[in-house]
Amino acid sequence: MAQLLVDRRDVSFVLHEQFAAGELGKYEQFAEVNPKIMDMVVQEARNLAIKELLPTNRTGDEQGCSFRDGQVYTPEGFQRAWQLLVDGEWIALDCSPEYNGQGMPSIVMQSAWEYLLAANMAFMMAPIMNHGAGKVLEAFGTPEQKETYLRRIYSGDLGATMMITEAEAGSDLAQIQTTAHKNADGTYSLSGSKIYISQGDTDLTENIVHLVLARIEGAPEGTRGLSLFLVPKYHIRPDGSAGERNDVVCTGIEEKMGIHGSATCSMALGSKGECLGTLIGQENKGLSIMFHMMNDARLMVGSIGLANASSSYLYALDYARARRQGNMVDDRDSKYVPIIAHPDVRRMLMHMKMFVEGMRSLHYYIALCKDYRTLAEKDGDKEKYQDLIDILIPVAKGYVTDRSIDICNLGIQVYGGYGYTKEYPVEQLLRDVRITTIYEGTNGIQANDLLGRKLFIKDGNLPERLTAEILEVVDKARKYPDLEALAHKLASLVDTWQVVAGQVKQDIGNGQVQNAFVHAYAFMDITGDMVMAWMLLWRACTALDKMNGEGKKKDLKFYRGQLKSAENFIGTVIPVTFGKANSILEKCGAAIEIEDEEFGAK
Amino acid sequence: MAQLLVDRRDVSFVLHEQFAAGELGKYEQFAEVNPKIMDMVVQEARNLAIKELLPTNRTGDEQGCSFRDGQVYTPEGFQRAWQLLVDGEWIALDCSPEYNGQGMPSIVMQSAWEYLLAANMAFMMAPIMNHGAGKVLEAFGTPEQKETYLRRIYSGDLGATMMITEAEAGSDLAQIQTTAHKNADGTYSLSGSKIYISQGDTDLTENIVHLVLARIEGAPEGTRGLSLFLVPKYHIRPDGSAGERNDVVCTGIEEKMGIHGSATCSMALGSKGECLGTLIGQENKGLSIMFHMMNDARLMVGSIGLANASSSYLYALDYARARRQGNMVDDRDSKYVPIIAHPDVRRMLMHMKMFVEGMRSLHYYIALCKDYRTLAEKDGDKEKYQDLIDILIPVAKGYVTDRSIDICNLGIQVYGGYGYTKEYPVEQLLRDVRITTIYEGTNGIQANDLLGRKLFIKDGNLPERLTAEILEVVDKARKYPDLEALAHKLASLVDTWQVVAGQVKQDIGNGQVQNAFVHAYAFMDITGDMVMAWMLLWRACTALDKMNGEGKKKDLKFYRGQLKSAENFIGTVIPVTFGKANSILEKCGAAIEIEDEEFGAK
């Protein structure tokens, strides 16, 4: 079977044609990065993904992680795969070279990692944790923490985790009960239990660094009293060698629907009273440090969704081209045609195609915003890119992972009965991707964040930041006769979106808070649809530019495919988006007004 | 944990209040059936479901069926459960007493089986096959086949299968290669390979009867040359005892995403040249006999979807009432409130509630139509009920199973991270229910059936049959001030639906066949939404009648919950339905026009 993870032509299109990522090379920070180097990195990631990670994906699912005598064991092949990640310096691709990072632009990491995530999402939970925890230490760690731990996290010499969740503290971090007692030497003694800790224990590395959210004795209740601590599995001696075992242990792992290759651990801290850690950042500032990390983590989760969706699409497309069943709907004499010829199969493939493309463009665009935010010299520019990232995060996480589930679900559907069996890869993709709407803030929380926070912060300027960017593409598209009608429809959707956003803000201002929030999810949906249409119209403009300009003849079909995606999205999805907008504008409050008992089963 | 399968108050509401099923007792055929008897049957089914079937559901998932030495072994507890089904005479609840059936109305079977299906869908695949195969024999079997086999199928003394699918013949039955050679004694010798045969082998019964679709040597190509055969695992001697082993063997079982407790078998017929069967019905009429069975099978699949969705809803509701996290969105001083208080959780629960209720009413309504079709003395009445069943089947199967997946997906989402673990039942419900959009005709085939067949047959009268019934409820609802606005919106949707159906028919008439069919799925969606609104408005009328009449005070909250469902559905879903209708009316043909290569990855 072909190795079907990510459409390389499309990656190249987004990177170089839609977003001209090579322009980054004009800045001193990325002076060594040019389009050729970018392509080499992506190509290497692709090789690694196909040759090494993909073969471990199914065995990882079948074997899962196991837990014996307080130790987690990863499935066959994961240790080798980890070593290859370490050797190839893939973990900290876009991190600071000062601490073993590779210093590449984020958009390069985005495209390289898309292959790795598509090949084995469960395995990639390990480098994801290293990358995320490392970024926290890079921003908030003491020089000593960075020297001793960060460099080893980025190199992959150590594993890393984020220890946040407890049994009574899932979405509600105010309930965190783990405590920290300050010792005379400035260290802290931690005590408590955590659950759902990804990579809480592993055999990929000998030592692990846990970043633990806990409450210092006497600290305020709620989230204002949380602090973040660095708690290693083994202390590290001044010479760098592993010292004594710390009192933080894995007590069990979860049986889950998917990502069996990633251990989800229950952890006990200080059950012998000897769990020692050091503070990261200031006391009682744990939550805001966490949130610094959280934004990147949410984008990563969206990327995981995209990667699984991308793979499911390519498998389904490949299958639909090869599998023969039935006759053409308008030609009874045709027999045993490839199922891609059936209108309903085309509908499904088209749905998968346009969303995968729109989601890819969105994630690469946000990565590029991160790069330009880093490069920006003026405060105003920095702020602009940060604003765009901020308003797009709920879409890039919440909306994108919802669509990823839809797409992986359709992947099974295109295969028919075969798709439901473990003989084909598509059912695993759905089971694995299912977690993405939950972790790093459920999608409901993303929707609330968009409606209740992102519409209001910075004097409510974020929506206009977004619509200004969209309307730039609309203006460009208006100049192409082929795109004029599509541009007009998107412009009209932007108008409607502004009306809806205005009403929702007004409702909240008028104290109809619950009634506004009950439509938060629909609002995230219409925002996401608008963003997809923006990205697909942008792609169509780029494709037309190339078709009319220096584009190669062999790429003509690829470019035409871009026009079709935009046309189909704006022709079939956007009318439904207007319906969703109307649904919000109708302000039905039944789901708020209904009493708890009226839900039934009492 | 509470046993949460089906809301018994709602079952009673639909059975007695919405549909007055007790009226059936006025007819001679059901003279012994009164509301009290109905309730007793349902109550017994509920007990069996909760006490016996539910405990086998999780172990069935964990252990799965196994295959050793040519024999399938079911998980622990399945043999006992089967014996209880047999002893309680549950298999043929609505079948002819002449052949061991119980002669109950279909609507009673629908409500009793909803509990059984919700408790263990995988286990229930066995009685489902008996029920379906039995119905075929009841309609088309020879007196001898009925006497020897049908009575034992209905009693559960034998197992049964439908052997249709082959590796190259999934949705495309024209490709069936299994052959039958007519012997001098009137029997047939079969030869071929089948795949995906549910219950192809089992240890629940000693003997199994297979109904096999095959092609008699020399028969026409395509589906016109298919005949149906009765092929027992062991021949049955004239005295009723098991005779020689027939040459039909299970060669393996599939590993699947879910329904692990149901063996999905590969079967070899005649590998020793000794597979003997007898013809069912006439030669070359196999397909039309199959289709007789297929309608019931499709309704059953929809019921399976409903049952899983019902259970997922009740689990989620129970969890949302007990689990505490976070503060009210409009009250920062509130702490650690039950998550049912959060608007987005209410949105999810409300979504689950209204669809489960609408789907339940639809399936019970269709069962009632089956009963009145049986009872009808005038041809016109018979035809009316058959027409309603015919046009509703694609919705009851395709639309309902899609919504069931949505609901089971939301069930996980309400649980958050817990829902993704195997500690809670909701992830299994999603894995199990995932098959329902595929088997017995994929949902794409359901959509094509609605658009390409049901809109056209019988001089195109079916749509009006449906809308006439809907408008009756609309007229009734207009008389209640509380429902007037809702009734008006549904009436307007009916108008729009007729416009869309008209356009689609016209497009097909004008030769724009593929362009019409590419919107078939959206058309099934809007049809389903309209049907849900109809059922929910009907429920609301019934609830108001009761609130204004003889309804009990303790039921007030239940009735109010009915009003909320209708209000929320018509207020939040129907605006989106209009959007979907517009999407069809726009006639975007991009998914047809796109060339195969333009889908990419080439």
Query: Concatenated DSSP letters for B314-338?
Result: HHHHHHHHH-B-S-BTTBTT--S-B
What mean pLDDT comes out for the span B541-552? Answer: 95
Spatial contact of B72 and B253, defined as CB atoms under 8 Å apart: yes
What mean pLDDT comes out for the span B446-475? Answer: 97
pLDDT over threshold 60, residue B1: no
| Residue pLDDT, tens place only, A130-166 | 999 999 999 999 999 999 999 999 999 999 999 999 9
pLDDT over threshold 60, residue B2: no
Residues, chain B: 602
pLDDT over threshold 50, residue B22: yes
Are the beta carbons of A590 and B597 separated by less than 8 Å?
no
Q: Across B26-178, where does the E strand assignment appear?
A: 66-68, 71-73, 158-163
| Residue pLDDT, tens place only, A420-466 | 999 999 999 999 999 999 999 999 999 999 999 999 999 999 999 99
The two tokens of residue A17 are: 């044609």
The two tokens of residue B121 are: 């869908």
Q: Which of B344, B434, B500, B536 to mutate to test the interface with A (most CBs of A within 10 A)?
A: B344
What mean pLDDT comes out for the span A288-306? Answer: 94
Compute the radius of gyration of chain A from its Cα atoms. Answer: 25
Spatial contact of B185 and B192, defined as CB atoms under 8 Å apart: no
Domains of chain A and any CATH numbers? 8-152 (1.10.540.10), 159-285 (2.40.110.20), 453-593 (no CATH)
| Residue pLDDT, tens place only, B179-238 | 999 999 999 999 999 999 999 999 999 999 999 999 999 999 999 999 999 999 999 998
Taking the CA of residue A128 and the nearest CA in chain B, the distance in Å comes to 18
B588 band by pLDDT with thresholds 50, 70 and 90: very high
Are the beta carbons of A560 and B437 separated by less than 8 Å?
no
- What torsion do the CA atoms of A583, A584, A588, A593 make, to the nearest 10 degrees? 140
Which pTM value belongs to this model? 0.98
Start-to-end Cα distance in chain B: 52
The two tokens of residue B441 are: 């005709």
Spatial contact of A128 and A159, defined as CB atoms under 8 Å apart: no
Cα–Cα nearest to A121, from A442, A393, A445, A431: A431
Query: Concatenated DSSP letters for B382-423?
Result: HHHHHHHHHHHHHIIIIIHHHHHHHHHHHHHHHHTHHHHBTT
B547 band by pLDDT with thresholds 50, 70 and 90: very high
* Nearest CB partner across the interface for A590, out of B172, B564, B592: B564
- Any alpha helices (H) in B120-158, and if so which ranges? 121-140, 143-145, 151-155
Residues from chain B that touch A561, judged by Cβ atoms under 8 A, are 594, 598-600
Are the beta carbons of A572 and B588 separated by less than 8 Å?
yes
Q: Does A504 touch chain B (CB under 8 A)?
A: no
Task: State phi, psi for A575 to the nearest 5 degrees.
Answer: -55, -35
Mean pLDDT of chain A: 97
User: Would you name the residues of B annotated as active-site residues?
Assistant: 440
Query: Concatenated DSSP letters for B472-528?
Result: HHHHHHHTSTTTHHHHHHHHHHHHHHHHHHHHHHHHHHTT-HHHHHTTHHHHHHHHH
Q: Does A449 touch chain B (CB under 8 A)?
A: no
Residue indicated by tokens 């790429």: A555
| Residue pLDDT, tens place only, A187-240 | 999 999 999 999 999 999 999 999 999 999 999 999 999 999 999 999 999 888
Q: Which of A8, A257, A565 to mutate to test the interface with B (most CBs of B within 10 A)?
A: A257
Q: CA-to-CA distance for B148 and B388, rounded, in angstroms?
A: 35
What mean pLDDT comes out for the span B420-439? Answer: 98
Spatial contact of A10 and A18, defined as CB atoms under 8 Å apart: no
Q: Does B594 touch chain A (CB under 8 A)?
A: yes
| B192 three-class SS | strand
Q: CA-to-CA distance for A153 and A86, rounded, in angstroms?
A: 10
Q: Does A317 touch chain B (CB under 8 A)?
A: yes
Q: Does A336 touch chain B (CB under 8 A)?
A: yes
Q: List, as ranges, residues 150-169 from A with C-beta within 8 Å of B.
A: 165, 168
| Residue pLDDT, tens place only, B227-273 | 999 999 999 998 888 899 999 999 999 999 999 999 999 999 999 99
CA distances to A363, A407, B435, B448, B579 from B522, in Å: 29, 17, 21, 11, 10
Residue B278 CA from chain centroid, whole number: 29
Please give the residue of chain A at the shortest CA–CA distance from B337: A172
Residues, chain A: 602
Are the beta carbons of A257 and B196 separated by less than 8 Å?
no
The two tokens of residue A34 are: 């040019």
Catalytic residue, from A52, A114, A357, A440: name it.
A440
Residue A300 CA from chain centroid, whole number: 3
ipTM: 0.97
Spatial contact of A570 and A537, defined as CB atoms under 8 Å apart: yes
- What torsion do the CA atoms of A340, A343, A348, A350 make, to the nearest 10 degrees? 80
* Nearest CB partner across the interface for B421, out of A255, A420, A567: A255
